[in-house]
Chain A
Amino acid sequence: QLQLQESGPGVVKVSETLSLTCTVSRGSVRDSNYYWGWLRQPPGKGLEWIGSMYYAGDTASNPSLASRVKISVDTAKNQFSLRLSSVTAADTAVYYCARHGTRFYYFGIQVWGQGTPVIVSS
């Protein structure tokens, strides 16, 4: 069964860039049936979709974050990554990597990583 595992610093300073990586196990980022995405959940708040990417290059981002988000896929390492620039305290959250269907086969988010907390500190 597919497994996703987030990794990266647990603390990032204000104005710097948050970088996280998701390692895919028991599956391949080159699977043509899926996109690979990132979501987050600030403390005590709801979930927010950040962005997603297809291994062949198509990307999509939440318009509210698009100017600061970069998602990339490394097929050689079977990983995908998130970079969120110019972070503020509002970016403090648990960050999840996830897998979901393609444009015409999207039925919610079936597979999630366990989540990794990130604190933005001054």
Chain B
Amino acid sequence: EIVMTQSPATLSVSPGESATLSCRASHSVGNNLAWYQQKPGQAPRLLIYGASTRATGIPARFSGSGSGTEFTLTISSLQSEDFAVYHCQQYNKWASWTFGQGTKVEIK
């Protein structure tokens, strides 16, 4: 099983600033990496797939990068609605998908 490790666990950011979230895979997953946003009491929402492709309707301030074992989600100019928990997921092998533990982005 590929273990996904996200850091930091919590990130305190002021509105308008940028946030950089990291996700590391225990083995290479190529670019088969997705990012999700989850707000309290809601289901996750797909933000990024293929490590860097924004899903439909996702604002340009969300960007993903990386390949292999190191991935980054950058949120530029944080808006109030961006404070949430962010999850990464690898899908390198069919039916062997795993998620990270999540990074909470909170208001500083």
Contact = CB atoms under 8 A, between A and B. Distances in A.
B95 A61 contact: yes
B49 A107 contact: yes
Nearest to A107: B49
A120 interface: no
Consensus secondary structure, chain A interface: loop
Interface residues of B, number: 24
B87 A114 contact: no
Interface string A99-122: 000010011111011110000000
Contacts of B45: 112
B55 A110 contact: yes
A32 B100 CA distance: 29
Interface of A: 45-49, 52, 60-61, 63-64, 96, 103, 106-110, 112-115
